[in-house]
Structure 1
């Protein structure tokens, strides 16, 4: 018998209504977007203003408020391709190793003689000792700082490449350790860039690795590529270093492990500092914009227990001596230590306005990039171009929708009307699912939706043609409809499973735009099969129960 259980009817109608309810906010995009932004701002800051309240109340809180996020090509925004200078990390590792090695070698100065760091290429640590005949002992001490590489490709290798020649030991990272370090540096850079972008509340950025040492950054809705570069292009490397001298010559001769840096707010003033920092920005736990005792913009910061302990020990041992606060190779402040600072907190002040103080706090809070990002490609996509893409996609979808409806109605009459109604529900459900999962819609995604419009009626065509065949065998209309749906099922499932496999391959192997196409195609396949097999069937059964026709024409 041609029938559908009541619970199935309720379930089918409920799924359709749920999908359409989640799709509905996209019809009021700007209002819902303002509501979501206001709710997020109020929850984050706890501050309410008349404007925020008006925006929050512009959309009922009990209704769904999820939206389909618009990608870079639809909303406009900034596109950057950056290359991570991984070689900087090798130098930093060697610079950090030198103080520990110096202490270990100094403990055996009576045997080894004088120990000093010699000039060497970046990323290489060269140590000279006074007694050349004791070089094997120095090498043995250095090997104590080398660890085994834990990756499968580097199994059996050490982290340090150590060579002895004359009275000097040359140390650098081994090739296996460099490979591990490169991967770790890229992953850390990805995470820090993502945190920095998220701090300013941008929507659905695309931040992904490309190749061995490059990062692709696409942020919809941001003003320009220059604005994005200002946010993420700074390493925000904060260190606290010992001051060894002050002068006006940027080319002053310095010893190994020393560097001359300019003052940020005093032209012509240069500081000679110890290149090995006392504390680094990595040991910060928080940074907030504030004001100093004169009411000028500043940034308050706080160290973790390890950083607080080191900072307290240093300030206790160096009362009356200056120390440098270095940000991105500029000394932004060089105060004299008046007393031991054991609280683990401090303040950065200088020539900055409130916007710069807020940006500096964001950069410090997100953490320091482990290496500099060199931007190889940058583009700004205006919102006008994005709106043109949306309009073109809307026209293409409308033309395709009308053409499919016309073909179905002309070919199958009343059954074509049922298929057209199911197609409209299917389109709404696609946007409902995209809104529920917070997916990002791009121009290729629109192409996937347009393709789905054409594919969505394939299942209906198979069912209707099968019903026609069953009617030719002189079966009654009820039996013909029932057999039409049953016998077309296997062909419909087979056809759509193969398409799902292709969509999965595109998602796994493709880049961002291709992934967007695969996502919308997958959702469209699932919803179109549901609407074709169950929604049109429900409409057909309901009509048949009410009309009770003796004959039907498909």
Structure 2
């Protein structure tokens, strides 16, 4: 019989809309002003920290909605923004600078919804508020590091090939200068360099050879510095628990970092962990030097060595030669060994494993230090107006090499579990390949974000109201079917956006939703006009409904599939807000086809299907 759906189709339709409504519900509850507390370097958030905070807030008469301890951080929900600011100041004064106390926004979703995995849509920076950084990689430092590595590599290569030289060092132009005492040795070195793909001879005279790094290697190093720094920054932000961060590359040497919900720029910089690197260095434990005399200037540091300091201020004499940098670390974890002492397990990539194997074979039972290097803004600028970074170094661990190892080893001699956890986090998050500096800062306040949300909702609402009025006036009861489908379409879009783990709603995303409202109306207009055309041609009502949906299907499919292809291309080649627009547009196309064709057909069949009808309200 014409225009009859089986029961399972009605059940499927109801279930789909109900599930969409269920997962769209969290978006109506909004967000609570919150304070997020996490440990900085050398500190950890524990249950004891939570109890200390609760007592402090109680003593100051601060009422909070809830205090949650999860994933080594504490989230405090309060009633309003004034209480949020006051609470943040009190906690920051109490805990000191060993903890990160950041302003945040936390979803106010009821527990019965969170129990089934229902969460609100993730909002972009323009809607939620937060901080935006444009960071630039210091390519000079990256190339200097490459030149240092080239210098070490050439020393080893010349030694392996028995090429004698009097001195080898790098100059300020990322080149290696080699001095010889005879022409035969120099000629052998030239011949060897010409065989190496990464190097070339720049200049030479009777006793000197200047070796440059190939252009391909320089470009590869620049590209790798940005790509690896992007990945490492993303890991750091994720490790420190910032909700829905955006970290992506822009251009040849810049990185965009967006932290939605964070309002304090200074704390956001701290969350990024400054711009730090890690270095493994051998300790010079020779007894022929007096550290106090070296520090006071009475005695010079031995050649190839320098003084660095522990966290407690204790000096340590290190060799300048870097055994390994943190960019070779692939994973790390902490545990207590069989003696109850904390230790950190480290995994290296293949290249790092080879370097560590060679080093440990030659230096068993000797101490090795882990040096933490930070590049901080000095408050000064260079001639180009860019901030000058100031290098700060600190030894975070000194351990004795107990055996020969390569890509897996343990760092011992750590004073406590908290230090082991923090060292593991730093190693796992990675060390930046080159220092970076912030060249642009932007803070989007929560009030501005709320204004954008209000404007976006108003545009959706007005688009929906105008479309509903048009459909009701022109198509009467079938206009009611179309209006119900429009509302269901919006519910499904919001529900799916809330379910997708990587989807973030921004202002362009709202524009995509508004566009799909119009496209959904267009599909119903095609169907209704086709039904009216069949009625004018003398078809019966049941046949007109059936032919109307069947005849309009091909036009609807063609129009929507071309738009869907466009959305896929936008998502593939676009970035940031373009991707946000493409996601909502693509989801909206699929849901509008479902509600416009299946949904309105189900309503039409329910009202008119299998009955004698003398007149159609269309």
Query: Could you say which TM-score interval applies, normalised by the shorter chain?
Result: 0.7 to 0.9
Worse-superposed segment, 467-476 or 75-84: 467-476
The secondary structure found in structure 2 opposite 1:403 is helix
Which residue, 153, 166, 171 being the options, matches 1:115?
Answer: 166
Q: State the match for 2:52 in structure 1.
A: none
Q: State the match for 2:216 in structure 1.
A: 176
Which residue, 443, 449, 453 being the options, matches 1:390?
Answer: 453
Q: State the match for 1:280 in structure 2.
A: 325
- Do 2:232 and 2:431's aligned partners in 1 also have CA atoms closer than 8 Å? yes
1:314 to 1:375, Cα distance in 2 relative to 1, 3 A: farther
Q: State the match for 1:152 in structure 2.
A: none
The secondary structure found in structure 2 opposite 1:237 is strand
In 2, Cα distance between equivalents of 1:516 and 1:334: 42
Higher strand share: 2
Q: State the match for 2:281 in structure 1.
A: 240
Root mean square deviation, CA, Å: 4.1
1:210 matched to 2:250: yes
In 2, Cα distance between equivalents of 1:163 and 1:188: 29
1:127 matched to 2:178: yes
Worse-superposed segment, 135-144 or 72-81: 135-144
Q: State the match for 1:375 in structure 2.
A: 438
TM-score by length of 1: 0.79
The secondary structure found in structure 1 opposite 2:447 is helix
The secondary structure found in structure 2 opposite 1:344 is strand
In 1, Cα distance between equivalents of 2:561 and 2:201: 57
- Do 2:147 and 2:176's aligned partners in 1 also have CA atoms closer than 8 Å? yes
Which residue, 121, 128, 133 being the options, matches 1:68?
Answer: 121
**Cα distance, 1:107 vs. partner?**
6.5
- Do 2:3 and 2:542's aligned partners in 1 also have CA atoms closer than 8 Å? no
Structure 2 counterparts to residues 399-548 of structure 1, below 5 A: 399-438=462-501, 439-545=503-609, 548=612
Deviation readout 1:291-317 (Å, 9 max, x if unpaired): xxxxxxx99644448487567556646
- Do 1:72 and 1:218's aligned partners in 2 also have CA atoms closer than 8 Å? yes
In 1, Cα distance between equivalents of 2:397 and 2:244: 42
In 2, Cα distance between equivalents of 1:316 and 1:115: 29
1:325 to 1:553, Cα distance in 2 relative to 1, 3 A: closer
Which residue, 303, 328, 332 being the options, matches 2:394?
Answer: 332
In 2, Cα distance between equivalents of 1:225 and 1:104: 48
**Cα distance, 1:547 vs. partner?**
6.4
**Cα distance, 1:202 vs. partner?**
2.2
In 2, Cα distance between equivalents of 1:62 and 1:271: 53
The secondary structure found in structure 2 opposite 1:217 is strand
Deviation readout 1:417-467 (Å, 9 max, x if unpaired): 111111111111111221222211011111111222222211111111222
- Do 2:229 and 2:432's aligned partners in 1 also have CA atoms closer than 8 Å? yes
**Cα distance, 1:63 vs. partner?**
2.8
In 2, Cα distance between equivalents of 1:56 and 1:70: 15
In 1, Cα distance between equivalents of 2:421 and 2:130: 22
- Do 1:283 and 1:303's aligned partners in 2 also have CA atoms closer than 8 Å? no
Deviation readout 1:225-244 (Å, 9 max, x if unpaired): 33333233412333324449
Q: State the match for 1:185 in structure 2.
A: 225
1:376 to 1:69, Cα distance in 2 relative to 1, 3 A: same
In 2, Cα distance between equivalents of 1:500 and 1:340: 61
1:345 matched to 2:402: no
Which residue, 189, 198, 201 being the options, matches 1:159?
Answer: 198
In 1, Cα distance between equivalents of 2:427 and 2:230: 16
In 1, Cα distance between equivalents of 2:482 and 2:617: 15
The secondary structure found in structure 2 opposite 1:457 is helix
1:427 to 1:337, Cα distance in 2 relative to 1, 3 A: closer
1:3 to 1:222, Cα distance in 2 relative to 1, 3 A: same
1:195 to 1:502, Cα distance in 2 relative to 1, 3 A: same
1:140 to 1:253, Cα distance in 2 relative to 1, 3 A: farther
1:30 to 1:299, Cα distance in 2 relative to 1, 3 A: farther
In 1, Cα distance between equivalents of 2:74 and 2:249: 37
1:4 to 1:479, Cα distance in 2 relative to 1, 3 A: same
Deviation readout 1:71-97 (Å, 9 max, x if unpaired): 111111111111222343332233234
Structure 2 counterparts to residues 192-341 of structure 1, below 5 A: 192-232=232-272, 233-243=274-284, 247-248=294-295, 258=304, 263=309, 273-282=318-327, 285-286=331-332, 301-304=344-347, 306=353, 316=364, 318=366, 325-328=370-373, 330-333=392-395
Q: State the match for 1:3 in structure 2.
A: 3
The secondary structure found in structure 1 opposite 2:249 is strand
TM-score by length of 2: 0.72
- Do 1:105 and 1:115's aligned partners in 2 also have CA atoms closer than 8 Å? no
1:265 to 1:61, Cα distance in 2 relative to 1, 3 A: closer
- Do 2:22 and 2:495's aligned partners in 1 also have CA atoms closer than 8 Å? yes
**Cα distance, 1:199 vs. partner?**
0.6
- Do 2:527 and 2:552's aligned partners in 1 also have CA atoms closer than 8 Å? yes
In 1, Cα distance between equivalents of 2:591 and 2:400: 70
1:225 to 1:446, Cα distance in 2 relative to 1, 3 A: same
The answer for unaligned runs of 5 or more in structure 2 is: 36-65, 79-107, 374-390
In 2, Cα distance between equivalents of 1:299 and 1:96: 33
1:473 to 1:385, Cα distance in 2 relative to 1, 3 A: same
The answer for unaligned runs of 5 or more in structure 1 is: 147-157, 291-297
